[in-house]
Amino acid sequence: MSEVSSPSHQPSAVSFPTAKIIVENLTVAYSDGTESLRGVQLSMPANAITVLFGPAGGGKSTLLRTLNRLNDLADVVQLSGRVLIDGIDILDPKTDTVALRRRVGIVFARPVVLPMTIRQNLTYGLELAGERRRTRLDEAVERGLKQAALWDEVANRLHEPATSLSGGQQQRLCLARVLALEPEVILLDEPTSGLDPISTGKVEESLQELKQHYTIVLVPHSIQQAARTADLAAFFLGGELVEAAPGKTIFTNPKDQRTEDYVEGRFG
Amino acid sequence: MRVTNSRRLRVQRLGFAALTAASVLTVAPIVLVVAYIIVRGAPAIRWEFLTAFPSQGMKGGGILPAIVGTFWLTLGTAAVAVPLGVGAAIYLSEYAPDNRWTRAIRVAIINLAGIPSVVYGLFGLGLFVLFLHFGTSLLAGSLTLSIMTVPVIISTAEEALRAVPNSFRVVSISLGGTQWQTVRRIVLPQALPGILTGVILGLERAAGETAPILFTAAAFFLPRLPTSAFDATMALPYHLFVISTQVPGMPVHIQYGTAVVLLAFVLGMNLLATLIRSRARARRQW
């Protein structure tokens, strides 16, 4: 066990009963020099919404994609530190990434429905995991769609192509698809950036329900959304974690000058 | 101002006219060739012509062994070239890293597609017929045609695979899919119409080639159909070559009749490829 060095900008201690994810001194760099992370320390509580916010290029998406090792698909040239989920370092090269991604699901900014029916989109992940039992698949479809507040709209058209859905419905389908796998952690990368306010409201409502059962990490598409949804808010700037604080305090009473400037709209 | 406008208009009209003329000039020869061959060859197309062996030293009877031979050669080529070509395309598109080695492979494939077919024929003669002792046979001919067809299949199949949006792959991986599951369940089905089109166009070219089978598979005349992969065979393009150049006093309608059958074979495959492509395009969701 190597000693974890504490960077100077160590965020104020945040206490939640249980930390689901602990990020220790995480540094990530891409080959093209774009968005990267430097020495990030952050604890993300279970059954709560952790919001990662800040201007573009701050490293929010990088952190998100590190949490389920989706970054493996990108050209990462430097990776150090640890990411503990339930106390186990998922950055360990021996990690079963396929199993990890079933436990840690992700929803992207642009909804990408797979070119198949609505039902097949929901059963896809489970079938990959080897689930063949019809009843189990049916249950998962219904549960996922209900949790994503989409069931009422699509219950009688499950066998239509998923592309026949509207943009807002497609995004909720992407959420439902992740939920059908019954993950432990849900990562959301600006899930409402392409949605109208009504659809956005529906997604945010679902998140409040979902956090009873899941650990949620959200990159919001606006600072207002960050303020509305955060149980813990972390401010990222230029690849560094500037400040993290529970609830709304970071928006009303930021400690760091840079956070204050951003929250009050002086830049970004 | 009005003067310039009308001058511009004239230039535009002239441009359109030139472009229209160019496209008519390209289409016209194709239509003329096909029409001419059909008109000259149609009288020969009778049931007997398609189902009988040649008689009277090729001057009578039918072309059954040539039709059957071309069918088997095409099938044999497909059996070898499709798995090889599609497999290589999947490797290059989905698995291979982008480095000097894979770039060299790509350059090689492009250059292979440009080699004259008679060179493939000579190569087939040296490797399959003589060195591997396959003799002049369906097997040697199919293998030679395969080497010629594989580059075509690889490049079209790779293009079809790369056209599948990358976001599908990322989503599949993020839902706990392995790379192979992603290829098999998402990428391949989406690319299949494009791959099939490339396969058919490649095989179509193989079916119509004379030079690669000249030294490796084709026989001037055989009194029976091939019964094994090691038998020599007659084939439509070679038969056409033979009766057009090697047989004095050959009835013209038999020559053109043979051309009609070969043309129908090749254009039929082309039509199938077009059908697959247009149907897939109508149903595609991205």
**From the candidates B164, B166, B174, B185, which should be mutated to test the interface with A, based on the most A CB atoms within 10 A?**
B174
Rounded distance between C-alpha atoms, residue B142 and residue B82, angstroms: 12
Rounded distance between C-alpha atoms, residue B28 and residue B41, angstroms: 20
pTM of the model: 0.82
Residue B53's contacts (CB-CB under 8 Å, 6 or more residues apart) are: B61, B62, B64, B65, B223
Rounded distance between C-alpha atoms, residue A202 and residue B166, angstroms: 28
In a 13 Å sphere around the CA of A51, the CA atoms on its Cβ side amount to 29
- pLDDT tens per residue, range B69-121: 999 999 999 999 999 999 999 999 999 888 899 899 989 988 888 899 999 99
Any idea where the domains of chain A sit in the sequence?
A: 19-90+98-245
Rounded distance between C-alpha atoms, residue B149 and residue B81, angstroms: 6
Cβ A128–B285 below 8 Å, yes or no? no
- pLDDT tens per residue, range B157-210: 999 999 999 999 999 999 999 999 999 999 999 999 999 988 998 999 999 998
Residue A9: predicted pLDDT = 44
| Distance of residue A177 Cα from the nearest chain B Cα, in angstroms | 8
Pairing of strands A215-219, A49-53: parallel
Cβ B171–A115 below 8 Å, yes or no? no
Residue A2: predicted pLDDT = 41
Alpha helices by DSSP H, chain A? 60-67, 97-103, 118-128, 134-147, 151-154, 167-179, 197-210, 223-229, 249-252, 257-263
Q: How far is CA A11 from CA A4, A52, A59, A124, A244, in A?
A: 15, 14, 16, 40, 6
All residues of chain A having their beta carbon less than 8 Å from the beta carbon of residue B170 are 70, 73, 108, 112
Rounded distance between C-alpha atoms, residue A47 and residue A41, angstroms: 20
- Per-residue pLDDT for chain A (268 aa), expressed as one digit of tens each? 344 444 444 444 445 668 899 999 999 988 877 668 999 999 999 999 999 999 988 889 999 999 999 988 888 888 899 999 999 999 999 999 999 999 999 999 889 999 999 999 999 999 999 989 999 999 999 999 998 888 999 999 999 999 999 888 999 999 999 999 999 999 999 998 878 888 888 889 889 989 999 999 999 988 999 999 999 999 999 899 999 998 788 988 889 999 989 988 888 7
Residue A188: predicted pLDDT = 95
Confidence of residue B61 (pLDDT cuts 50, 70, 90): confident
Q: Is A106 on the interface with B (CB under 8 A)?
A: yes
Residue B228: predicted pLDDT = 85
Residue A117's contacts (CB-CB under 8 Å, 6 or more residues apart) are: A158, A159, A160, A161, A162
| Distance of residue A9 Cα from the nearest chain B Cα, in angstroms | 32
Residue A102 near residue A181 (C-beta atoms within 8 A): yes
Pairing of strands A76-85, A240-246: unpaired
Pick the CATH number of B67-236 from 3.40.50.300, 2.60.40.10, 1.10.3720.10, 3.20.20.70: 1.10.3720.10
Residue A15: predicted pLDDT = 53
Q: Given a cut of 90, is residue B253 above it in pLDDT? A: no
Residue A11: predicted pLDDT = 45
Pick the CATH number of A19-90+98-245 from 2.40.50.100, 3.40.190.100, 1.10.20.10, 3.40.50.300: 3.40.50.300
Two tokens, residue B209: 């080639």
Q: Which of B15-24, B40-49, B138-147 has the least mean pLDDT?
A: B40-49
Any idea where the domains of chain B sit in the sequence?
A: 67-236
Instruction: Name the residue in chain B with its Cα closest to that of A176.
Output: B175
DSSP summary character for residue B218: B
Residue A8: predicted pLDDT = 41
Q: A with B: how many residue pairs have Cβ under 8 Å apart? A: 61
